[in-house]
Every structure is written in structure tokens, then in C-alpha cells.
Amino acid sequence: MTDILPPLQTLRAFEATGRRLSMTLAAEELHLTHGAVSRQIMALEDHLGVPLFRRMTRRIELTEAGQSFFSTVTRFLSELSRESENIRRRNDTNRLVVSCGVSFASKWLTSRLHRLIGKYPELGRPSGSHRRAY
């Protein structure tokens, strides 16, 4: 399967170039040289066997195949980024564990936690309650 998929760096270069319609601006965004972006695009075109851009004197534009591929790559990179962030958050070790009695939790803590999370959604959601017999 790895031979079928193009390298990720070529997709990132293609997406930035397609969105900006400029290899120079894509290179700046990706902190690469213009030549590096150009080589990534050429490698992707070689991999796919079709040109993705029409190169003119002072500008570039997506070919029909390029437009179709751009749409797919944009969704793919967006979904990959979103899922990577979700996984990072799930495995975040900066977690606070609060242990308290049921009465205290139900009468005081729960409502305040919900307000706190409403104010600061990056804190995440409470993962639930656990009962232990002591």
C-alpha cells in the first residue's frame, strides 16, 4: 500500500501551492525554498502520472485533475490533522483527578465543573465518575 500513496510531504506542498496558487507563497508558508516545493510538486506529478498545475509565465493554475485531487487532499489533510489532535488530547497526561464523596460531587462540584469547562473548553470534558467502597 505504501507504493500506492504519495509521500505526505508532497501532499502538503501540493495543498499549500493549490490553495495559494503560488509556489513562492507555499514555500514561505512551509518554511521551504521555492525549489524544494517545485521538486515536491514534480515528484507528486511523476507519482500520479499527470500534471496537476498549468505553469504560465507569471502564474500557475490547477489542471482539471489538479482541482479534483486538491479537493480530496484538502479533506484528507484536514481530517488527518483533526484526528491527530483528538489522539493527542486523549493521551494528554496533564489531567486532574478529583476524588470526593458523592454528596459533595452532586451538590457542589458538578455544576462548578460544567461552568469551568464552559468558560475554558480546552480543558476537555469530565471523563466520568467512579465509585469505590472503602
pLDDT tens-place string over residues 94-118: 666 677 878 887 788 888 888 888 8
What is the pLDDT, as a whole number, of residue 128?
56
Domain 8-90 has CATH 1.10.10.10: yes
Residue 79 has pLDDT above 50, yes or no: yes
pTM equals 0.66
Q: What is the DSSP letter of 105?
A: I
pLDDT tens-place string over residues 5-36: 999 999 999 999 999 999 999 999 999 999 99
Give the domain ranges of the chain.
8-90, 98-128
Of 1-15, 34-48, 120-134, give the lowest mean pLDDT range: 120-134
In whole angstroms, give the CA distance from residue 91 to residue 122. Answer: 14
Residue 131 has pLDDT above 60, yes or no: no
pLDDT tens-place string over residues 53-70: 999 998 999 999 999 999
Other beta carbons less than 10 A from residue 55's beta carbon = 11
18 class by beta-carbon count within 10 Å (0-12 exposed, 13-18 middle, 19+ buried) = buried
